[in-house]
Amino acid sequence: MSNAAAYAVSAPDGRFEKVTIERRELGPHDVLIDVKYAGICHSDIHTARNEWRGTTYPCVPGHEIAGLVAAVGSEVTRHQVGDRVGVGCMVGSCGHCEPCLAGEQQYCLNGVVWTYNTAVPEEQQAGGHTLGGYSTQVVVTESFVLSIPEGIGLDVAAPLLCAGITLFSPLRHWNAGPGKQVAIIGMGGLGHVGVKIAAAMGAEVTVLSHSLSKEEDGRKFGAHHYYATKDRDTFKKLRGSFDLIINTVSAELPIEQYLRLLKLDGSLVALGLPETPYSINASTLAGFRRSLSGSMIGGIPQTQEMLDFCAAHGIGAEIEVISADQIDAAYDRVVASDVRYRFVIDASTI
Ligand code: NAP
Ligand code: ZN
């Protein structure tokens, strides 16, 4: 076992404090990673504040991890000391169920081991649950460690490990590309990366943001159109316009209004995970054969494909690098939608 420094929160309304945590002994297939950067995802906030219930404290969030390999177990073949690597939302799955065999580990039937807040009684993790990337070091089994291509900085790559794959996966699944009208609701951490990726895939991209305050940025990221959803006319103008609408909003939305923006056979994909359930009428789905679906991050092979795609297209996240003692303030700013567009913790400050 080795010690690492980390930032942990001990209660739903607690503040982050520096702590020392234990990382497991390197097993034959384990990789020890010196964390360089850890992104702050809105899911970290939902979890740290127990908004989804079920948070075990102390909680060390962080599932957008970029760093360098510091040591490898005796049988590791995929990574070497010094490699640029990343870890996303998952650090384990059963490996033999149908989704795992299909490379969709995030849908493992026997339970995903999430990067933080998953009970791992067999491991000697402090408190018996996984602890995430707001930390100087992590130990992860090699098959859940991604390679970060040269050409993307580790700082702007970190958010791709969650925000990037969470958008890339549904964009691929629902065939975003030339001739497809794609709308992205919410241009925050997830949304802004989604705009870049969807545009790089060749789709015609519209941002549906609550105001026009970020329009100039949206167009720089590749959006072709940009509308404010607080303007009632937006919903009249855009009725029946989109093949695919991706909802990244972390709060409750009047989802029926957005469903009506779909073309015949269009799909609205739920990515944002508010505390409250959606409320919709069956007739809204029946009309125009609309679909309401969801998507959860993406599998390990697709995460590597996403990183390679982003490197090839020069895509990284737009970030604001902070020191670890600024995490609480950063959380408040994310909740207030005051982030351009992802906070990333410089792990050397932990
Ligand atoms: P974020 O950076 O806070 O972005 C969310 C965006 O939603 C904001 O920038 C804002 O965009 C919009 N928004 C926020 N509050 C709103 C409100 N009250 N009304 C209307 N719009 C509002 O969060 P994120 O990190 O991108 O995460 C977004 C959500 O996705 C969270 O719920 C997170 O837990 C979830 N998530 C899901 C997955 C998955 O696999 N499905 C993965 C990661 C995260 P505008 O200013 O442009 O309106
Ligand atoms: Zn996330």
Torsion angles phi and psi, residue 236, rounded to 5: -75, -45
| Closest-lying ligand 1 atom to the alpha carbon of residue 43 | 34
What mean pLDDT is predicted for residues 259-268?
98
Q: Quick check: 116 pLDDT over 90?
A: yes
Amino acid at 188: G
Q: Quick check: 115 pLDDT over 70?
A: yes
| Mutation to probe ligand 1, out of 235, 292, 337, 340 (largest number of atoms < 8 A from CB) | 337
* 303 in contact with ligand 1, CB cutoff 6 A: no
State the DSSP H helix or E strand holding residue 286, giving kind and residue range, or none if neither.
helix 282-286
Phi-psi region of 230 (alpha: psi -120 to 50; beta: other; left: phi over 0): alpha
pLDDT, tens only, 128-157: 899 999 999 999 999 999 999 999 999 999
pLDDT of residue 126: 65
Q: Ligand 1 atom 34: the closest Cα is on which residue? A: 43
User: In this structure, how many other beta carbons lie within 10 angstroms of the beta carbon of residue 304?
Assistant: 18
What mean pLDDT is predicted for residues 162-181?
98
| Closest-lying ligand 1 atom to the alpha carbon of residue 207 | 47
- Taking the CA of 275 as reference, the closest ligand is 1
The CATH number of the domain covering residues in 2-161+298-349: 3.90.180.10
pLDDT, tens only, 306-322: 999 999 999 999 999 99
Q: How far is CA 313 from CA 196, 201, 301, in A?
A: 9, 10, 18
Q: How far away, in angstroms, is 199 Cα from ligand 2 center?
A: 21
Q: Quick check: 175 pLDDT over 70?
A: yes
pLDDT of residue 124: 64
pLDDT band (50, 70, 90) for residue 122: confident
- Taking the CA of 63 as reference, the closest ligand is 2
pLDDT, tens only, 202-212: 999 999 999 99
Separation of alpha carbons 164 and 219, rounded Å: 18
pLDDT, tens only, 288-297: 999 999 999 9
- The closest of 116, 93, 92, 119 to 30, measured between CA atoms, is 92
Is the peptide bond preceding residue 58 cis, with omega within 30 degrees of 0? yes
Superfamily of domain 163-294: NAD(P)-binding Rossmann-like Domain (3.40.50.720)
What mean pLDDT is predicted for residues 320-326?
98
The domain spans of the chain are: 2-161+298-349, 163-294
What mean pLDDT is predicted for residues 46-71?
96
Tokens representing 276 are: 């409250």
